[in-house]
Amino acid sequence: DAGVIQSPRHEVTEMGQEVTLRCKPISGHNSLFWYRQTMMRGLELLIYFNNNVPIDDSGMPEDRFSAKMPNASFSTLKIQPSEPRDSAVYFCASRSRTSGDNEQFFGPGTRLTVL
């Protein structure tokens, strides 16, 4: 298995631009998580999905952030418009709710820089 796949790995954009981060979970996993990691705030859970349905988006910082999961193999996190304070590493993770394993598997992350 290729693990959780995230793209792009690095993104540099200018303030005000729209940014879309992508995630492909591990095949068969039915929970997907988006995290943000910064020096100041550490690792924060932004939103998670169970069976493609958003369950808890209380960690999404502002309305500028939105996430979708149109099918079991793909999710996006969009920031529109982006701001310099959105610069961070964004991680996607997935988990199987049915295997009993309970471990979240993390992707390599997308390093976002907003100028």
Partner 1 sequence: AQSVTQPDIHITVSEGASLELRCNYSYGATPYLFWYVQSPGQGLQLLLKYFSGDTLVQGIKGFEAEFKRSQSSFNLRKPSVHWSDAAEYFCAVGLDDMRFGAGTRLTVKP
Contact between 1 and partner 1 per CB under 8 A: no
- Tell me the C-alpha distance between 11 and 37, whole Å: 15
Contact range with partner 1 by CB under 8 A, out of 17-25, 49-57, 60-68, 70-78: 49-57
Q: Are strands 88-95 and 31-38 parallel, antiparallel or unpaired?
A: antiparallel
Give the residue with the Cβ less far from partner 1, 19 or 92: 92
Q: Which is nearer to partner 1, 42 or 70 (CB)?
A: 42
Please name which of 21, 30, 79, 80 lies closest in space to residue 52, comparing C-alpha atoms: 30
Residue 4 near residue 92, CB atoms below 8 Å: yes
- Residue showing tokens 């390093």: 111
Q: Does 110 bind partner 1 (CB under 8 A)?
A: no
Query: Can residue 108 be called a binding residue for partner 1 (CB under 8 A)?
Result: yes
Chain residues that interact with partner 1, rule: CB under 8 A: 4, 31, 33, 42-43, 45, 48, 50, 55-56, 91, 93, 102-109
